[in-house]
Amino acid sequence: MAPDPAQDVETDLLIIGAGPTGLYAAYYAGFRGLRVAVVDSLPALGGQVTAMYPEKAILDVAGFPNVKGRELVAGLVEQAASADPTYLLDRSATGCTISDDSVAIVLDDGTTVVAKAVIITAGIGKFAPRPLPVGMDWVGRGVEFFVPSFEPYAGKDVVIVGGGDSAFDWALHLEPVARSVTLVHRRDAFRAHARTVEQVRASPVEIITKAQVTGMSGDGTLSHVEITVDGADPVQRPAQAVVAALGFIADLGPLQTWGLETLKRHIVVDSAMRTNLPRVFGAGDITEYPGKVRLIAVGFGEAATAVNNAAVVIDPSAHVFPGHSSEGS
């Protein structure tokens, strides 16, 4: 459920971030009998998974040999529904005031959320795609930064710019749909997972390295790109779609002003997922501690740890370990 804009909210636990970790934390808060609210700057649930790779096959979530991003999010939303969470979407957390028994979080629409504890599950924080300079005039007319659906690329000549996981994942998934897929990268080494690189190399996708897209043209909408390879003369290629998979620029935004201890844009937590601020916890990709591994699966475990430890802060008579969800009442 969602309250009206700028309507103040009082709850036991506020979760900042509605990605997979945040959604699982919402479910677990309900399992602990807590009232829960979830805030996210994006207009839809699912965080980066929904915004960036809803069609991507995710292979490293326990119990799911192969699950699409959107299917994973749908399952998490259904699971979280058991907690009857209050969703505050398309709103960002800005201010934070901590008292002896609560935390007051001010959102950018004027809403104030008063919670007994807060868990920050904001992933990489607020993010924006890195621009492709030559393509900025063509955004929405053939140039995109994310691929939320494969259908619009059916029968098109697609050029993907980048050498990371997103570039190779999209190349692999678009190849059966598009008329042609060309991957252009400025270096001959890639940041993508080696297995995915080999899959793309074995596919009909054309990989052009030491190259850049240096021009675009078309009558209203994109029809051709200009590719320059290692200083040679530019070559024109047909392209009705360009995906600029150059990564993204991320920061913690207003969270940086709260006094949280951070390390390289991540929030430092201890083994109980506590931050240096009282009543404020963290979980998922946004956190940092020795040996940290950034996987969705790890985020689920951290969410449960954070909720269980927050439960004791909320109610000192509670126990950190509540028993197993399978034990029944």
Q: What would you measure as the largest C-alpha separation in the chain, in angstroms? A: 73
CA dist 96 and 105 (Å) reads: 5
285 known ligand binder: yes
Residue 178 burial by Cβ neighbours in a 10 Å radius (0-12, 13-18, 19+): buried
305 known ligand binder: no
DSSP labels, 259-311: T--EETTEEE--TT-B-SSTTEEE-STTEE-TT----HHHHHHHHHHHHHHHH
326 known ligand binder: yes
182 known ligand binder: no
Q: How many residues does the chain have?
A: 329
100 known ligand binder: no
CA dist 275 and 266 (Å) reads: 11
Helix, strand, coil distribution of the chain in percent, nearest 5: 25, 30, 45
CA dist 65 and 78 (Å) reads: 20
21 known ligand binder: yes
What's phi and psi for 166, nearest 5 deg?
A: -65, -45
Residue positions in the annotated binding site?
21, 40, 48, 53, 93, 127, 285, 326
Residue positions in the annotated binding site for FAD?
21, 40, 48, 53, 93, 127, 285, 326
